[in-house]
Amino acid sequence: MWAFVTRRLLYMIPTLFVISLVSFAIIQLPPGNFINTFVAELRAQGQGVDNAQVRALEERYGLDDPFLVQYGKWISGILLHGDFGQSFQYQRPVSDLIWDRIGLTLVLAVCTTLLSWAIAFPIGVYSAVRQHSVGDYVFTFIGFIGLATPNFMLALIFVWISFRYMGESVGGIVSPEYADAAWNLGKVLDVVSNLWIPVLIIGTAGTATLIRVLRANLLDELRKPYVTTARAKGLPEWRVILKYPVRMALSPFISTIGWILPTLIGGEVMVSIVVSLETTGPLLLDALSSQDMYLAGSFILILATLTVIGTLLSDLLLALWDPRIRHAQTAKG
Amino acid sequence: MDTDSDVLLEVKGLRTRFRTDDADVTAVNGANLRLRRGRTLCVVGESGCGKSVTARSILRLIDPPGRIVDGEILLRRDGSDGRPAETIDLAALKPTGRRIREIRGRDIAMIFQEPMASLSLVHRVGNQIGEAIRVHNPMPRRQARQRVLELLDQVEIPNPERTIDAYPFQLSGGMRQRVMIAMALSCSPRLLIADEPTTALDVTTQAQIMDLLVGLQHQQDMALMFITHDMGVVAEMADDVAVMYLGHVVEKGPVDTIFHDPKHPYTRALLDSIPRIGGARRERLSTIRGTVPAPADQPSGCVFRDRCDFVMPGRCDRIVPPPIDLGPERHVRCLLHGGAEPEAEVTTSQEAADAG
């Protein structure tokens, strides 16, 4: 097992290297750079910009250097000093801007995952065990609606409902009165009370997918001979099902840890904009459109790294969960 | 003649049906069987004859949409273990209820065809056997583990201390089937149902597993219902034989009479298709013409008539052959041996059995 963990950790190094290279290349891909965009904006507003001034700016940020040199400066700054570079737009170090947002994104990711599991597990098991029952059809119907409704739409509906009927303004994670307060019980409760709406909205599609996957997997497993064996021992039906086929059907749940983060980042951008959450999504979108390259690049790099770590975690958990994976890996390593 | 108290389990007129949207299949159609204490009944027939469904019906392990629509499965319990002597009709119990669960694994245990698929691959051997013990005899894990080690030793698994913590995918097919047998024997059942337990194994392993089963059966004095399509296995193991064809028990009797004096053309055909050492050299191995029809389109009259060499047109297609009594515990369902009167159609198998 330890050999497996070590090997997986070593594999992460080349993966992360390639990711950093690719994320840097991607943010360089669009024609022009932040200074061009900035100058164009200024000109559009009727302000003149001196060419020499532009040249000076470009030199200062090293924008004329070849790709590899720029990449080298960027990545060595991160690895050696934890310096992600400067945000052009905010004129502040990138690291000042992103950690809060990444923290919030992670909190959202963890809460969403836990909520999806908590909802999907009982419904998925029920739908499979009572296949074709009324309950199964009802949950299937709700599940498909959950899958088909765009998240931003749900977000708008929630915002409207809570404003119209509960007189609460949905927006932000921390209510204005707590914005500058130190962390205390009140603030935590406030965050929790604001968090459930985005968690619910972002979780719907993922939950619906999980229900479908669990139901399909469990239906396959329920007819396998080992379930009959367990029944033939004289075990109660619920124990037969929970101990044997459900155990086999649960692997996709564990795999979700690996892919929840990328889906979340893709899926939450619009939701976050609608309910104005200070997560990574809106800021990343903003940075990309204004070609704030170090900010965008750092976001992409950090989120990709978290995804790689998530995948590693889910692989390790799967190995713990399923002895066949563990033994196959041990035999190899 | 056997006394009634010898009979451990009696299947009377069992009918198990699978109803789906496009077909209504009667997989077992009025089967009668008797299992006697300490004896081996071999149920033989080609694939799709309802052997497995009969076995699973006894333990009520038929998955929906299948269900028992008719008949009785009478289990006679003697009053051991502080339980009263009683006769229970298993066919009348709720398939997920507490009463049938008390019988599964404790009075009647079962082993299956594919030892790989029949064990959970993600639970350790000791866990799976220990669970079978503890569900009927609550005891501390420690004590159960000790019992599992004894059982593994009893089924001749080398190095039980290691195997108990192994996962089934780390064991060979023969070892897995031994684990299944250990699990089945864990509560000393009165009846063991073995559903083609050696079919998935290689020939050498088959012989070992059969020797093991016979040995354990004598040691524990339990009845064995052995399902197979291999007449060689029948010759070796059986006390009694029941030949099934398309959901019907077409012939049954003590093993010697079946082998030396087969009455039903299907039994004869099955016996003719065994290769013999020392037989005429050029002789081709005979096969049975055609294949078993799908249970959904059963022929009228005698179910075997389409493939029978002795078919009597005008009779076999009109009359359902009743069970004909040929001696103690010996029955055949074939018009060649009587029962030609059309009213015989309404003779239930039960009456015939009682007559014998």
Collapsing DSSP states into helix, strand and coil, what is residue B355?
Answer: helix
Q: Tell me the pLDDT of chain B averaged across its residues.
A: 85
Q: Chains A and B: how many Cβ contacts under 8 Å?
A: 73
The rounded radius of gyration (Å) of the Cα atoms in chain A is 25
Q: How far away is chain A from the Cα of B209, in angstroms, using its nearest Cα?
A: 19
Q: Which residues of A touch B132 (CB under 8 A)?
A: 233-234
Q: Which residue matches tokens 């079919």? A: B199
Per-residue pLDDT of chain A (333 residues; tens, 9 = 90+): 788 888 888 988 899 999 888 888 877 777 666 777 777 777 777 776 777 777 776 776 667 777 888 888 888 888 888 888 878 778 788 888 888 788 888 888 888 888 888 998 999 999 999 988 999 999 989 888 888 888 778 888 887 887 777 766 666 666 666 666 666 777 777 777 777 778 888 888 778 888 888 999 999 999 899 999 999 999 999 999 999 999 988 887 788 777 776 776 666 777 777 777 777 878 888 888 777 888 888 888 888 888 888 888 888 888 888 888 888 766 554
Greater confidence (B81 vs B248) lies with B248
Residues A187/A292, Cβ–Cβ less than 8 Å: no
Instruction: Specify the higher pLDDT residue, B278 or B99.
Output: B99
> What is the structure's pLDDT at B279?
57
Quick check: A236 and B101 CB within 8 A?
yes
Q: Cα A326–A331–A332 angle (5° rounding)?
A: 100
Contact A324 B101 (CB under 8 A): no
Q: Which helix (H) or strand (E) holds B243?
A: strand B240-245
Q: How far is A73 from chain B (nearest CA, A)?
A: 50
Residue among B228, B294, B215, B204 at smallest CA distance from B41 = B228
pLDDT of amino acid B351: 45
Looking at domain A95-332, its CATH superfamily turns out to be MetI-like (1.10.3720.10)
- Between B143 and A310, the more confident residue is B143
A222 to chain B: nearest residue by CA? Answer: B63
| Residue B264: φ, ψ to 5° | -80, 135
Q: CA of B257 to nearest chain A CA: how many angstroms apart?
A: 34
Which string of b and e fits A130-139 if b means at least 16 CB within 10 Å?
Answer: eeeeeebeeb
Whether residue B352 is predicted with pLDDT greater than 50 in this model: the reply is no
**Could you tell me what percent of chain B has a pLDDT over 90?**
37
- Cβ contact B104–A324 (<8 Å): no
User: What is the per-residue pLDDT for A222?
Assistant: 92
Q: What is the pLDDT of residue A18?
A: 92
Of residues A35 and B299, more confidently modeled:
B299
Identify whether the C-beta of residue B86 lies closer than 8 Å to the C-beta of residue B77.
yes
pLDDT band per the 50, 70, 90 thresholds, residue B135 = very high
Boundaries of every domain in chain A: 95-332
Residues 6+ apart with CB under 8 A from A170: A158, A159, A162, A163, A194, A197, A275
Q: Report domain extents, chain B.
A: 118-188
Sign of CA dihedral A277, A283, A289, A290: positive
C-beta atoms of A234 and B61 within 8 A: no
Q: To the nearest whole angstrom, how far is the Cα of B119 from the nearest Cα of chain A?
A: 5
- Say whether B122 and A223 touch across the interface (CB within 8 A): no
What pLDDT digit, counting tens, does each position of B54-113 carry?
Answer: 999 999 999 888 899 999 999 988 776 666 678 889 888 988 889 999 999 999 999 998
Q: How many Å apart are CA A155 and CA B130, to the nearest integer? A: 52
Q: Average pLDDT, stretch B108-129? A: 91
pLDDT at A307: 85
Task: List chain B residues with CB under 8 Å of A243.
Answer: 123
Residues of B in contact with A329 (CB under 8 A): none
**Residues 6 or more apart from B102 whose CB is under 8 A from it?**
A234, B136
At B160, list the tokens: 């039980």
Q: Indicate the angle between helix axes A185-222 and A151-165, nearest 10 degrees.
A: 140
- Per the DSSP assignment, residues forming a β-bridge with B40 are B224
Average pLDDT, integer, range B273-300? 71
pLDDT computed for residue A259 by the predictor: 72
* pLDDT at residue A36, rounded to an integer: 73
- Between chains, do A223 and B96 touch, taking CB under 8 Å as contact? no
Shortest CB distance from B135 goes to which of A235, A324, A327?
A235
Q: Which residues of B touch A (CB under 8 A)?
A: 56, 59, 61, 63, 96, 101-106, 109-110, 112-114, 117-123, 131-132, 135-136, 167, 169-170, 180, 183
List the single best residue of B61, B122, B125, B148 to mutate versus A (max A Cβ within 10 A): B122
Residue A36: enclosing H or E segment and its boundaries? helix A34-44
DSSP tag of A279: S
**Which residue in the set B120, B169, B170 is minimally distant from A244, CB to CB?**
B120
B contacts of A224 (beta carbons < 8 Å): 117
Q: How many residues does chain A have?
A: 333
Flag if A247 and B114 touch (Cβ within 8 Å). no
Q: Cα separation of B166 and A218, whole Å?
A: 25
Evaluate whether B132 touches B217 at the Cβ level (below 8 Å).
no
In this complex, do B169 and A327 lie within 8 Å of one another by their Cβ atoms?
A: yes
- Rounded Cα distance between A118 and B302, Å, is 57
Asked if B63 and A327 come within 8 Å (Cβ–Cβ), the reply is: no
Main-chain phi, psi angles of A60, to 5 degrees? -60, -40
Give me the helices (H) in B59-191, please. Answer: 98-103, 115-118, 125-136, 141-154, 160-163, 173-185
Q: Give phi and psi for B270, each to the nearest 5.
A: -60, -45
Work out the pLDDT band at B324, boundaries 50, 70, 90: confident
pLDDT at B258 over 80: yes
Q: What is the pLDDT of residue B26?
A: 85
Burial grade of B47 (CB within 10 A; 0-12, 13-18, 19 or more): exposed
So what's the pLDDT on residue B284? 67
Residue B289 pLDDT level (bands cut at 50, 70, 90): confident
Q: What is the β-pairing status of strands B40-44 and B66-77?
A: unpaired
**Which residue of chain B has the CA closest to A232?**
B104
- List B24's β-bridge partners, or say none: B19
Distance from CA of A9 to the nearest CA of B (A): 25
Using alpha carbons, select from B28, B27, B26, B32 the residue that is nearest to residue B9: B32
How many Cβ atoms sit within 10 Å of the Cβ of residue A157?
A: 12
Closest CA to B201 of B173, B229, B166: B173
Is residue A179 a contact partner of residue A157, using CB atoms and an 8 Å limit?
no
Cβ–Cβ < 8 Å for B109, B98? no
Nearest CA in chain B to A331: B170
Identify which of B110, B113, B167 has the shortest CB distance to residue A232.
Answer: B110
Contact B119 A223 (CB under 8 A): no
Whether residue B126 is predicted with pLDDT greater than 90 in this model: the reply is yes
Interface with A, mutate which of B53, B118, B188 (most A CBs under 10 A): B118
B146-193 pLDDT tens trace: 999 999 998 989 999 999 999 999 998 889 999 999 999 999 899 999
**How far is B287 from B122, CA to CA, in rounded Å?**
43
Residue of A nearest to B124 (CA): A323
Please give the full DSSP string across B310-329, using - where no structure is assigned.
Answer: T--TTTTTT-PPPPEEEETT
Q: Which two tokens stand for residue A289?
A: 């459109």
Shortest CA distance from A234: residue in chain B? B101
For residue A222, give how far its alpha carbon lies from the nearest alpha carbon of chain B (Å).
Answer: 10
In this complex, which of A224, A226, A232 lies closest to B104 when CB atoms are compared? A232
Structure tokens at B18: 């699978």
CB atoms within 10 A of CB B354: 10
